[in-house]
Amino acid sequence: MQRSAVELLEGLTEPQREAVAHIDGPLLVLAGPGSGKTTVVTRRVAYLIGQGIPAWQILALTFTNKAAGEMRDRVERMVPGEVPGRRGLTMATFHSFCARLLRRYSGAAGVAERFSIYDAADQRAAIKQAVKTAELSARNFTPAAVAAAISNAKNRLMTAQAYTEHAGDFYTRSIARVYRAYERVLWSNDALDFDDLLLVAARLLRDDERVRQELQERYQYLLIDEYQDTNHAQFVIAHALAAAHRNICVVGDPDQSIYGWRGADIRNILEFEEHYGEAVVIPLGQNFRSTGHIVAAADLLIQNNTGRKHKPLHTELGDGEKPVVVTCRSEHHESALIVEAFRRRQADDAIPWKDMAVLYRINALSRVVEDAFRGAQVPYVVARGTAFYDRKEVKDALAYLRLIANPNDEVALRRIVNVPVRGIGKVTIDKIELYAINRQLRFFDALRDVEAVKGLTGRAQASVQRFVTMVDSWRAGLETESGDAEVVALALAELVEQVVRESGMETLYRRSKSEDDLARLENLEELISAAAQFVPSVDESDAAVRGEDVGARRWTPAELLGAYLESVALVSDADAIDPTRGAVTLMTLHAAKGLEFEVVAMVGLEEGLLPHMRAAQSDFELEEERRLCFVGMTRAKRHLLLTRAATRAHRGLRERTIPSRFLQELPREEVTFSGQADEYGDSDAFDDSESFDEDDGSGGTRTGARSFPPGCLVRHPEFGLGRVESVMQRPKGAIARVRFHGVGIKTLILEYAKLQRAE
């Protein structure tokens, strides 16, 4: 055995070693939380390469881009530079792998070469359009409900046609109509949604023998992480690829399956052995992450789930500290208590901020927690990778880029045709649209024809013409020569800059003096520099297969733009977590999957929140909620704090809460129930000023709108100095919009907000 191979097996338990050294044939690794899964996966890939299997023959599919990137780095560090065939490893998410596949085999797959990828917002717009064309009431068919139904169908590889054939009742038949209309919208826009990436790729692999064979030959070794969260489409993709050589290694934990609502089918992992009779199964039960009480408590909780294979968890890290459950008065109290607890950990135990996390079931809960951390000046980051790309100005700029890349992307076109306002309003658009429908033209082609559209003002026509000329000139700029990715990336950045400038966005935001708009400008500048630094992943390159230097692939600007938009479309929240930043991480339980922290606080352990009210309907969903709780608890290495608030404001109303049933399921021997939170300190220790039971001062002196004229300076106990933008008289009382320095605009009810005039 080579020296490196020995090293790769060092310091592992027997089952871990067995998994790493497994080469040929199907392998199922049942990896409990903290069982060293990532180590096993990365070492196994390095081991395969060390055994002479060229890296480009290995395909590893992960759940997030971040996981893929980290694993690739770790593998590269483990494989010495002189090992032949160490380049060209494909490590990607299912979605990005499929996207690249579809671009490469666009002809066989029947998709446009330069298709757009629609995110949730684009999808929503397309669905709205579809509901309209299907002539259904937008009231009974909300975009969210329709989207969920369609997504469900797509995850089961059900096309609009198949769905129609199976549709029985009125509601299903109606959905079928929208589904068909939606598909027509996507089709005419040359667009695919997230589910399509999987669905079309799965059908391509299933039905096209030539493509399947080619890819089977290319990817001799297949590895799939988080296998418990794969859906049927992903199952089909994986098994089509593995059908010939059967070198498929899947890693996962049925107890951590938390994406059932997204079509994940837990049977994929439970029935793996049935699909592959000769499969080797290796359970990894030893937990190297958490101390005894945490492991025991989580293990006993998950045992309340029926129909699971019991898989005992154990740790050898000692008993450690018991998880603590605290009931707080309100969500503000809850957040303040967590900040205080984290502070102590940092001060007394010297645990750095980056090793602490607050987890919650729904994003909406992050707000109060954020406020508390900000108020206490404790550094924190909210794990929302999409947040940057969700900003209006960034989405607008990207819509321009998408329109340049894909002239048929009407969702993008409609988004920005009048942004910033350039005199192409609703009336003009409606008229041009009518013209387009009558002549069977694409919307953009109708814009080109604007002179022929009747009933438009000369002004509107001129505006449209200017817009068309502008977009055309950008497209022309794209038709330059190919080059190294780094060089072309600069051209890409130039294009982004040109778009920002010539579209008028720059002027719009620069002209304004408001801080928000200045921030917008900065975001756009960030987008430009992100484009300049964009490095496409080239793992699918044929160059690697031919044994050439992988970095030598040449890119045309158009190709690079496509790759850039694709990478932007597929970022996930978890991708944003940057451990080098010395800050507490705030994120959803879902985003926390696969991560670990010294200190973890889980908030909102209340009925309706965890388990979520939408999930409490069926036992199946309830068990998934329990697994979610299990995932959260097992993120903690040493300190686990579970909190709930006795009352919580929900949609403007304060309500009394019921403790989560999961708290009751926790064993008393393993968990400390700290009764009421008062022992953690009372009133003054925490800023509970927004609590409902607080009296609003003196009933007689109603805070009148008159005392705060627009433009006046005010002081707020929490937000500091600010300037009143506007005041509105509403039935519930006067409402002021106030811009606070460094905080932004807040809408406050004068009666309750303790505002003071400051001059």
Partner DNA sequence: CTGGTCATTTTTTTT
Partner DNA sequence: AAATGACCAG
**Closest CA relative to residue 357, chosen from 571, 665, 664, 591:** 591
**How many chain residues bind DNA (CB under 7 A)?**
54
Residue 501 half-sphere exposure toward CB, CA atoms < 13 A: 8
Dist CA 730 CA 113 (whole Å):
53
**Closest CA relative to residue 118, chosen from 145, 95, 149:** 95
- Binding segment toward DNA, per CB under 7 A, in 309-317, 528-536, 571-579, 656-664: 571-579
Q: Which is nearer to DNA, 87 or 361 (CB)?
A: 361
Dist CA 417 CA 444 (whole Å):
10
Dist CA 218 CA 220 (whole Å):
6
437 is a site residue for DNA (CB under 7 A): no
97 is a site residue for DNA (CB under 7 A): no
Q: Which is nearer to DNA, 119 or 623 (CB)?
A: 119
Q: Smallest gap, in angstroms, from Cβ of residue 652 to DNA?
A: 3
For residue 415, give both structure tokens: 């988004």
Dist CA 485 CA 535 (whole Å):
7
- Binding segment toward DNA, per CB under 7 A, in 101-109, 282-290, 355-363, 630-638: 355-363
Q: Smallest gap, in angstroms, from Cβ of residue 361 to DNA?
A: 7
385 is a site residue for DNA (CB under 7 A): yes
* Burial degree of 339 (CB within 10 A; 0-12, 13-18, 19+): buried
428 is a site residue for DNA (CB under 7 A): yes
512 is a site residue for DNA (CB under 7 A): no
Q: Smallest gap, in angstroms, from Cβ of residue 140 to DNA?
A: 10
63 is a site residue for DNA (CB under 7 A): yes
Dist CA 149 CA 6 (whole Å):
51
270 is a site residue for DNA (CB under 7 A): no
371 is a site residue for DNA (CB under 7 A): no
- Binding segment toward DNA, per CB under 7 A, in 239-247, 417-425, 471-479, 531-539: 417-425
- Binding segment toward DNA, per CB under 7 A, in 27-35, 298-306, 565-573, 713-721: 565-573
Q: Smallest gap, in angstroms, from Cβ of residue 682 to DNA?
A: 25
Q: Interface mask (CB under 7 A) for DNA, residues 448-477, using x and -?
A: ------------x-----------------
* Binds DNA by CB under 7 A, chosen from 11, 318, 425, 697: 425
604 is a site residue for DNA (CB under 7 A): no
Region 724-743 residues binding DNA, contact defined as CB under 7 A: 726, 728
List Cβ neighbours of 674 (8 Å cut-off, separation of 6 or more): 324, 325, 326, 327, 680
Q: Which is nearer to DNA, 76 or 725 (CB)?
A: 725
For residue 140, give both structure tokens: 């009974």
Name the residues annotated as catalytic.
Answer: 37-38, 225-226, 256, 635
719 is a site residue for DNA (CB under 7 A): no
The letter for the amino acid at 458 is G
Dist CA 622 CA 613 (whole Å):
10
Q: Contact 308/626 with Cβ under 8 angstroms? A: no
Q: Smallest gap, in angstroms, from Cβ of residue 721 to DNA?
A: 19
Q: Smallest gap, in angstroms, from Cβ of residue 264 to DNA?
A: 10
Phi and psi, residue 451, nearest 5°: -60, -30
614 is a site residue for DNA (CB under 7 A): yes
590 is a site residue for DNA (CB under 7 A): yes
Dist CA 240 CA 618 (whole Å):
33
Q: Interface mask (CB under 7 A) for DNA, residues 110-139, using x and -?
A: ---------xx-------x-----------
422 is a site residue for DNA (CB under 7 A): yes
Region 247-266 residues binding DNA, contact defined as CB under 7 A: 258, 261-262
Dist CA 495 CA 403 (whole Å):
13
Distances (CA, A) of 574 to 137, 223, 527, 578, 655: 37, 21, 20, 9, 31
**Closest CA relative to residue 447, chosen from 459, 455, 462, 457:** 462
Region 75-94 residues binding DNA, contact defined as CB under 7 A: 93-94
Q: Which is nearer to DNA, 397 or 748 (CB)?
A: 748
Q: Smallest gap, in angstroms, from Cβ of residue 446 to DNA?
A: 15
**Closest CA relative to residue 154, chosen from 190, 202, 211, 118:** 202
Q: Interface mask (CB under 7 A) for DNA, residues 135-174, using x and -?
A: -------x-x------------------------------
Q: Convert 121-182 into a string of H (helix), E (strand) and C (coil).
A: HHHHHHHHHHHHHCCCCCCCCCHHHHHHHHHHHHHCCCCHHHHHHHCCCHHHHHHHHHHHHH
Q: Which is nearer to DNA, 226 or 299 (CB)?
A: 226
Region 632-691 residues binding DNA, contact defined as CB under 7 A: 649, 651-652
Q: Is 314 helix (H, G, I), strand (E, B) or coil?
A: strand
List Cβ neighbours of 517 (8 Å cut-off, separation of 6 or more): 508, 509, 510
List Cβ neighbours of 528 (8 Å cut-off, separation of 6 or more): 493, 496, 497, 500
Question: Which residues lie near DNA (CB under 7 A)?
Answer: 63-64, 93-96, 119-120, 128, 142, 144, 194-195, 258, 261-262, 361-364, 367, 385-386, 418, 421-428, 460, 570-575, 588, 590-591, 612-615, 649, 651-652, 726, 728, 746-747, 749
